[in-house]
């Protein structure tokens, strides 16, 4: 039996999806709205629809506008492949490549953005009134922004600016129970922007080489960002949330080169647990504007230096005394994290600075306990910046020998912060705080005698 609520974009009678899939999907949504008008019939209402995108390349010249609930747009493959590697490779080498462009069910965003962020969104979701728009799902297809653009600075390769005004999915109105699963996002200035999310699930996506990857804006509650592979640009966020309660960030693998791995602004009673974070810059995790009662536990943080030559000239502009983890707020718990900083001293900013690992800039009642900090310095000669992106980064990650100890401030509690507890996270010499107004227990301090190979207590 034919299901009238299942649509294949290649079988729809209006428009050509290969030339403008946006116009085709809008036509399908209009058909759903025409057919599903009764909101309460025999204890049933509007079931919504599924729109299927088979594998292939689909140009998008018209923004998709979604204003109905219970809509699922799905494809058959997230299709991600690195555009950054392609655009930083001499074109004459392409003849030897098996693949050049992203694949799967791929949408090529060819919109010309206006001045506002929403105008450059491939998918724009908005419905006013009650109830909130609900249960819209995006699954298993690729949204490709194609190219970045000149940022006007005169110093950046246009394909490395992370600027083009394009957004993958922009959700403008309060919404409930949205799902993004198995998606691929590449070369978009903004991957996902969602305002006023409730019970949102962003799970098992590949969101990389975007200016910013995930931005939860406005306010929200009870949502999760889990099991994703994420990598933003040097001037954007990997994971950003503001005015949120009950957000769970777990089991994500966040790559360099984002300005931050996680940036919370006014977020409360949320968790950041069991993630692997890798960054080339300080400011990996930032809590600002009184983030309170959050748990940051059992994460692995690694900060090292950019090993790939095409990207050596870029960073997030922060000095190394900013803090790898920078906390502002009350009653947060920073517990049982492994934090590695491996960087040659010549790359420190400014060069004579002692890097700060955890910096508490304001607040009371914070509990910093049992974090294992490994700080080492590596010779500049150990990195092979001429290698491919993959080889350079893997080589840097796997280098654990030929390392010397790096002097760091394990925890710095700024003078305005009082009534906090710091336990077993740094030695006496590695911790800066006013012990008359904060609780402190130091790690034992060892001195290593290289000549004898003996640790002296």
Q: What is the pLDDT along the chain (457 residues), one digit of tens a residue?
A: 467 999 999 999 999 999 999 999 999 999 999 999 998 877 888 999 999 999 999 999 999 999 999 999 999 999 999 898 898 888 889 899 999 999 999 999 999 999 999 999 999 999 999 999 999 999 999 999 999 999 887 767 899 999 999 999 999 999 999 999 999 999 999 999 999 999 999 999 999 999 999 999 999 999 999 999 999 999 999 999 999 999 999 999 999 999 999 999 999 999 999 999 999 999 999 999 999 999 999 999 999 988 767 667 778 899 999 999 999 999 999 999 999 999 989 889 998 899 999 999 999 999 999 999 999 997 655 555 555 555 555 555 556 666 789 999 999 999 999 999 999 999 999 999 999 999 999 999 865 443 334 445 4
Confidence (pLDDT) at 400: 60
Q: What does 148-173 look like in DSSP terms, one character per residue?
A: ----SSSSS-GGGS--SS-EEEEE-S
Q: 244 - beta bridge partners?
A: 220
User: What SS3 state is found at 15?
Assistant: coil
pTM, rounded to two decimals: 0.92
Backbone angles phi and psi of 336, in degrees to 5 = 55, 40
Q: What does 196-215 look like in DSSP terms, one character per residue?
A: EEES-EEES-EEEEESEEEE
Confidence (pLDDT) at 85: 85
Give CA separation, 444 vs 297, 405, 424, in Å: 22, 16, 9
Give CA separation, 162 vs 11, 32, 142, in Å: 35, 36, 18
What distance separates the 2 farthest-apart alpha carbons in the chain? 85
Confidence (pLDDT) at 153: 79
Confidence (pLDDT) at 398: 58
Tokens of 319: 């000095």
Contact of 371 with 425, CB cutoff 8 Å:
yes
Q: 216 - beta bridge partners?
A: 194, 241
Confidence (pLDDT) at 390: 54
Report the candidate in 298, 191, 186 with the shortest Cα–Cα distance to residue 239. Answer: 191
First to last CA, the chain: 78
Neighbours of 299 (CB within 10 A): 27
Give CA separation, 152 vs 109, 149, 158, 164, 191, in Å: 22, 9, 9, 12, 22
- CA–CA gap between residue 31 and residue 50 (Å, rounded): 12
Tokens of 401: 């020998």
**Do the bridges between strand 454-456 and strand 447-449 make them parallel or antiparallel, or are there none, so unpaired?**
antiparallel
What CATH class does 66-71+127-137+148-456 carry?
mainly beta
- CA–CA gap between residue 202 and residue 196 (Å, rounded): 14
Residue reference for tokens 């069910």: 105
- Which helix (DSSP H) or strand (DSSP E) does residue 265 occupy? strand 260-265
pLDDT digits (tens, 9 = 90+) for 239-250: 999 999 999 999
Q: How many CA atoms lie within 13 A of 307 on its CB side?
A: 25
**Do the bridges between strand 206-210 and strand 244-250 make them parallel or antiparallel, or are there none, so unpaired?**
unpaired
DSSP 35: H
Tokens of 77: 């493959």
Report the candidate in 296, 278, 432, 273 with the shortest Cα–Cα distance to residue 343. Answer: 278
Contact of 396 with 413, CB cutoff 8 Å:
no
Confidence (pLDDT) at 407: 95
Confidence (pLDDT) at 146: 97
- Which helix (DSSP H) or strand (DSSP E) does residue 303 occupy? strand 300-303
Confidence (pLDDT) at 452: 39
Tokens of 96: 């030897």
pLDDT digits (tens, 9 = 90+) for 354-384: 999 999 999 999 999 999 999 999 765 555 5
């Amino acid at each position: 039996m034919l299901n009238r609520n299942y649509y294949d974009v290649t079988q729809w009678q209006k428009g050509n999806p290969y030339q403008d899939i946006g116009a085709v999907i809008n036509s399908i949504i209009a058909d759903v709205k025409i057919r599903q008008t009764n909101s309460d019939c025999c204890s049933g209402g509007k079931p919504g629809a599924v729109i299927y995108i088979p594998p292939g390349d689909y140009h998008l010249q018209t923004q998709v506008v979604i204003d109905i609930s219970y809509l699922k747009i799905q494809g058959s493959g997230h299709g991600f492949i690195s555009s950054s590697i392609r655009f930083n490779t001499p074109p004459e080498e392409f003849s030897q490549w098996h693949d050049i462009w992203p694949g799967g069910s791929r949408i090529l965003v060819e919109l010309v953005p206006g001045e506002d962020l929403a105008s450059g969104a491939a998918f724009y979701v908005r419905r006013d009134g009650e109830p909130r728009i609900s249960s819209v799902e995006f699954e298993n297809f690729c949204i490709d922004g194609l190219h970045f653009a000149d940022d006007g600075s005169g110093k950046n390769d246009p394909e490395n600016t992370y600027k083009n005004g394009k957004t993958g999915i922009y959700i403008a109105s309060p919404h409930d129970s949205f799902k993004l699963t198995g998606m691929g996002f590449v070369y978009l200035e903004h991957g996902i922007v969602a305002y006023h999310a409730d019970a949102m699930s962003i799970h098992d996506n590949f969101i990389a080489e975007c200016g910013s990857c995930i931005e939860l804006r406005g306010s929200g509650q009870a949502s999760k960002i889990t099991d994703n592979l994420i990598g933003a640009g040097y001037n954007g966020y990997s994971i950003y949330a503001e005015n949120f309660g009950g957000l769970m960030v777990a089991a994500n693998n966040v790559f360099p080169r984002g300005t931050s791995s996680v940036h919370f602004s006014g977020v409360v009673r949320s968790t950041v647990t069991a993630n692997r974070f890798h960054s080339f810059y300080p400011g990996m995790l930032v809590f600002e504007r009184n983030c309170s009662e959050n748990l940051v536990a059992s994460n692995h943080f690694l900060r090292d230096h950019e090993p790939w030559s095409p990207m050596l000239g870029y960073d997030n502009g922060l000095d190394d005394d900013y803090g790898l983890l920078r906390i502002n707020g009350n009653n947060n718990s920073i517990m049982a994290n492994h934090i590695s900083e491996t960087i040659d001293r010549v790359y420190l900013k400014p060069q004579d600075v002692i890097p700060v690992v955890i910096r508490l800039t304001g607040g009371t009642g914070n509990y910093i306990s049992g974090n294992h900090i490994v700080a080492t310095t590596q010779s500049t000669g150990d990195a092979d910046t001429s290698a491919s992106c993959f080889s350079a980064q893997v080589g840097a990650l796997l280098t654990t020998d030929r390392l010397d100890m790096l002097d760091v401030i394990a925890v710095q509690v700024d003078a305005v912060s009082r009534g906090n507890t710091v336990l077993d996270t740094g030695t006496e010499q590695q911790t800066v705080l006013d012990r008359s107004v904060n609780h402190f227990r130091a790690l034992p301090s060892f001195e290593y005698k290289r000549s004898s190979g003996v640790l002296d207590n």
